Amino acid sequence: MKKYIILTLLIVLGVLAGCGKKEEVAKEDVYVRNVINVGFSQLGAESDWRVANTESMKSSLSLDKDFNLLFDDAQQKQDKQIMAIRKFIQQEVDCIVLAPVTETGWDTVLKEAKDAKIPVIVTDRMVDVEDDSLYTAWVGSDFFKEGRIACEWLKRYAELEGIEPSELNIVDIQGTLGATSQIGRSNALSESAAENGWKLLESVPADYAQTKAKEVMQQLLRKHSDINVVYCENDNEAIGVIEAIEEAGKTAGSDINSGDILVISFDAAHSGLNMVLEGKIALDVECNPLQGEEVAWLIRDVTAGKDVEKYTYIEESVFSTYDKINGIVADKQAFDVTILTQEILDGRKY
């Protein structure tokens, strides 16, 4: 149901005179704006990426762009997201946007939204439902492709540096188990390790959080003395991992042959790219959080009764300071590798 926000501006031209005497209101100006009411359930604020994603959504779905945004932070809890969606349904919003914590467990509440004739747009992570008509569209990244890009770069790196596949001893610092990003990136690594003969020593979740990743890496360093590659599934995890490596008296760098531990990361937020420039992260594969404008266009079209694409993938890049690799081919697609400079970093929005 479309709703209207009525903004009433009273212009009072009178002034007080004498013993409290007041002049009458001289004019009333009333105007009406057509505003799309949107309920957005954001899964949390666990990382720099998530903060940038929230800011993108809020700026793109603002009142000055004819949206009335009802925002809810679920603090990484699916039950809070389900409660938020049900509240949005009760409020009869025009559209619901969902950034889900995990893929499963959405069939019932999304059917409730469909029965209420409220379209749902899913962002970032996907939902695994029996009937995909329960959501109207999805906007986000191809997380498996991101992982394959990172693995193809690692394969090319090892070839250029004369490192045998069996000499790569990798640990995977996973994201939140069950999240689409975790599933895609973890599967890409496990498949690539099997294809190339790499040693995948262990995969441990750290929920995309810096502190937990540091604790996980401390444990892994005590358990495995031969780690030379750490595959971190986001930048905040990579930062925590580097802290653990350095506190253990080791170094994070881009030269396995000299004894460093090579760190690969995802997101390409400022925090991670600064580490790339410092030579502590060898490769950072972008996961673009600036999804707000795409979502805004979809909402406008959907609420206007137009047909929309079911899946929209955001454009992304790859960053490194290792200048021997300027391009790679992953799953028969060619990808450029941007050799990062301070100028490039300064020009980025997140």
80-131 residue pLDDT tens: 999 999 999 999 999 999 999 999 999 999 999 999 999 999 999 999 999 9
Task: Tell me the pLDDT tens digit for each residue of 183-230.
Answer: 999 999 999 999 999 999 999 999 999 999 999 999 999 999 999 999
Distance of alpha carbon 93 from its chain centroid, rounded? 24
Q: How far apart are CA 95 and CA 53, in angstroms?
A: 18
DSSP assignment letter at 315:
P
Q: Where are the alpha helices (DSSP H) in 41-142?
A: 48-60, 78-90, 107-115
Predicted TM-score (pTM) of the model is 0.85
CA angle 58, 289, 74 (to 5 degrees): 60
CATH of region 36-140+289-313, choose from 1.10.1060.10, 1.10.520.10, 3.40.50.2300, 3.30.750.210? 3.40.50.2300
Q: Where are the domains of the chain?
A: 36-140+289-313, 143-287+317-346
For domain 143-287+317-346, give the CATH number.
3.40.50.2300
Which residues lie closer than 8 Å to 145 by C-beta, 6 or more apart? Answer: 184, 188, 330, 331, 333
Q: How far apart are CA 185 and CA 146, in angstroms?
A: 7
Closest by CA to 61, choosing from 325, 248, 343, 292, is 292
Note whether 36-140+289-313 and 143-287+317-346 share their fold: yes
